[in-house]
Amino acid sequence: MKTYLLALTLLTATPTVAAPRATLIKACETPKGIVFQGGGYGGISGMDRDPRSGRWVFISDDKSERGPSHAFLGRLDLRPGKPCGPTLEAMVPLRREDGATFPDRKAGTEAADGETIRFDPTSDDLLWATEGDFEHGDPPAVRRMGRDGRPVARFVAPPNLRFQPDGRTGARKNATFEGLSWSADGRSLWVSMEQPLVQDGPIPSVAEGGLVRLSRLDRSGRLLAQYAYRIDPVQDASPVGVGDNGVSEILALDARRLLVLERSGVKGRDGRYAYHIRLYLADLSRAEDVSRRPGLADGPVRVATKRLLLDFDRLGIRIDNLEAMAWGGPLADGARTLVLASDDNYDASQTNQILVLSIRP
């Protein structure tokens, strides 16, 4: 394992606040092919840390093709020079509301597509988001479960974020719930769409970006507000014409600001993808509530402001398909850690990468 050190200055939302500094403490890879209690460690699309116990959770987007759809509970060692891990302690099968595990996506019923997961700060439950099952008409949803996988509740996406039969409105296939975060006070939830709704405009291209919706829900899943966030264009032209960009994770910083991870994938002639990742600070203070707007392409919209915090292309190391992001614990010097992990898509050419950043206010 190699450890990379790099100091970076982050921009803040307002010039009156001193700019925090971020240092890349380490970047390492978890070995491929790990199987624990019947679940494969791969396809990691979301993770979180329980500040009360220091325990971590990691969710795979495997659609029951390599064992049951699942998450893992375990530990991470964030200290410089130490293996990134993780040390797995329990495999948690994802379950439907009837208590059964999700079937293979070819079974003809809803398949799980776990993309993000969080510990509930006020209980022992976990919340995870699924992108839904487009083929079978199952909408995107946030599910609550016990730490043993026992189903507790299901919050279906607000109506305007669901799939629509006519295809002229609603969510696009495989472009729905990718990001989930508790609000800073733990009283509400933020969920982010990966790409624009059909009625909100085209998906990003090399020439232009697009508008996605960031939604705030109460603890029962009721929509409180929605805000428009403009994602970047695709970061590079693909020689075979296949590339995208979208929001892969979010994380609340305070009452009105979110960290937003944008992930752009570009397919090369060899069939492999190159990934361009950027971390932004989104400020919703002056954004309008668009929850009542049928579409965002039919007129001006006051979007969230965004500031680039980190362009991962500038780190000087290979960056894989980063999809997971969570706050780690405090460091001895008072800084805070931000941890990111990649989804290797169970592809031999991709890596299970973990990055640890130190954030000093």
pLDDT value at 189 more than 90: yes
pLDDT value at 16 more than 70: no
Residues 152-165 have a mean pLDDT of: 96
Who contacts 101 (Cβ-Cβ below 8 Å, separation ≥6)?
64, 68, 69, 93, 94, 95
Residues 144-157: pLDDT tens digits?
A: 999 999 999 999 99
**Residue 100 pLDDT:** 95
Residues 18-30: pLDDT tens digits?
A: 446 778 889 999 9
**Residue 1 pLDDT:** 39
**Residue 7 pLDDT:** 35
Percentage of the chain modeled with pLDDT above 90: 81
Residue 213 structure tokens = 């919706």
Phi/psi for 258 (5° steps) reads -125, 140
Residues 29-45 have a mean pLDDT of: 94
Specify the pTM: 0.93
d(CA 307, CA 292): 26
d(CA 99, CA 73): 20
pLDDT value at 334 more than 70: yes
Q: Which of 17-21, 99-103, 183-187, 235-239 has the lowest mean pLDDT?
A: 17-21
Cα separation values, 297 from 168, 198, 223, 247, 284, Å: 13, 9, 21, 19, 20
d(CA 308, CA 316): 18
**Residue 20 pLDDT:** 60
d(CA 258, CA 261): 10
Q: Are 51 and 120 in contact (CB under 8 A)?
A: no
Percentage of the chain modeled with pLDDT above 70: 94
* Amino acid letter, 197: L
**Residue 306 pLDDT:** 95
Residues 103-126 have a mean pLDDT of: 91
3-class DSSP state for residue 45? Answer: strand
Residues 325-347 have a mean pLDDT of: 91
**Residue 277 pLDDT:** 96
Residues 217-275: pLDDT tens digits?
A: 999 999 999 999 999 999 999 999 999 999 999 999 999 999 999 999 999 999 999 99
Domains of the chain from N-terminus onward: 6-10+26-360 (2.115.10.20)
